[in-house]
Structure 1
Amino acid sequence: MSSKKIVITGGPGTGKTSLINELIKRNYICLEEISRQVILDARKDGIEQLFLTNPLLFSERLLKRRIEQYYEAKIAESSLVFIDRGVPDVLAYMDYAEENYPKTFEKACHTCRYDQVYVLAPWQDIFISDNERYENFDQAIKIHDQLLNTYNKYDYNLIDIPFDTIENRVDFLLDTLI
């Protein structure tokens, strides 16, 4: 059985993790955001902000783990798997930072295809910076725009999740699954 792979994406601080947590609470299989782990691993190696210090190295590590997540979702024993960010997110952030990356990044976007992509727009009322999120709200808007551009480049039909309570946002997502 091949699982339906559903990506939840959006700029920083848009509520992706809260949505994933609510889906987990409702007993759905979810693969959580992994960039925080890449950041924490780099800090153990003495690099405070790996993306800012070496964007390509950070993105290569992130891409490797996102590809692993894709294949984990593909073989999951569930009809649905929700993923906090997909492979195209890596390219979107590199484009946002105006950094170059190898063609293997683009190849990964063609190879790792998701069944549906949901987008959370920047929402000032819930945006919070923390130790792993260095972006401000204006940067979050620019990242959001770049995410839309990147997913559109790879021919995804993007579904916007409206601003609402976490429960209503998850209900919307579940009600609109194809």
Structure 2
Amino acid sequence: MNKKIILIIGGPGSGKTTLIDELTRQGYICYPEISREVTKQAQEKGITNLFLTEPLLFSQLLLEGRVKQHINAIKENTDIVFIDRGIPDVLAYMHYKGDSYPESFDLACKNHVYHQIFLLPPWETIYESDEQRYENFEEAQEIHKHLVETYRKYGYDLIEVPRDTVDNRVKFILERV
């Protein structure tokens, strides 16, 4: 089996979760974004925004979760696994905030490699805020720039997914896998 671990990345509100949900509906193995769960758990403990109050702890929790997703994806009994965001996302967000991080973050990016990266561009028409997404659209655009820079730093070619219907975006991805 020639397994492909494929990421769908992009700034907040670019449609990643919607695509992952559709791919799941079509029978593909997909791993969801874990930052919402980390944020929700912190909120349940009374921490309104862990990323802003303790960015290194938040990022460490994300890093651990994404490494675990990568390891689990390798073990899946299927040719393709889609993941909503990857390990380099953690570093991109740290760059966005201007925060430093331990060398272990960089090593995690080098030691856990993905096969293809599909990038969703910022799309104001579909952007929505909610309880776990605190960024406004302008901040989402800035995060997008950091994602592109970070993934390119690790040698990834990014395949930009056009703004289109969910069905057409999924078709675009599946034609290139």
Q: Pick the TM interval, shorter chain.
A: over 0.9
* Structure 2 segments unaligned to the other structure (5+ residues): none
Letter in 1 for 2:64: K
Give the TM-score normalised by the residue count of structure 2: 0.99
Equivalent in the alignment of 2:72: 72
Correspondence 1:29-178 to 2 at 5 A: 29-177=29-177
Deviations 1:148-173 (A, max 9, x none): 00000000010000000000000000
Number of residue pairs the alignment of both structures matches: 177
1:64 alignment partner AA? E
**Superposed CA offset, 1:26-57 (max 9, x none):** 10000000000000111122111000000000
- Amino acid of the structure 2 residue aligned with 1:105: F
Q: Distance in 1 between matches of 2:3 and 2:45?
A: 36
Deviation at 1:3, TM superposition (A): 2.5
CA–CA distance in structure 1, aligned partners of residues 98 and 74 of structure 2? 31
- Please give the TM-score of this superposition, normalised by the length of structure 1: 0.98
Deviation at 1:16, TM superposition (A): 0.1
| % same residue | 51
Conservation of the 8 A alpha-carbon contact between 1:93 and 1:146: yes
SS at match of 1:119: strand
Contact 1:7 1:85 in 2 (8 A): yes
Divergent runs of 4+, >4 A: none
Secondary structure at 2:36's aligned position in 1?
helix
Q: Aligned equivalents of 1:53 and 1:3: distance in 2? A: 38
Secondary structure, aligned partner of 2:9: strand
Q: Which amino acid aligns with 1:110?
A: K
Q: Structure 2 CA distance, aligned partners of 1:137 and 1:43?
A: 23
Equivalent residue letter for 2:15: G
Is 1:3–1:73's contact at 8 Å kept on the other side of the alignment? no
1:52 counterpart SS class: helix
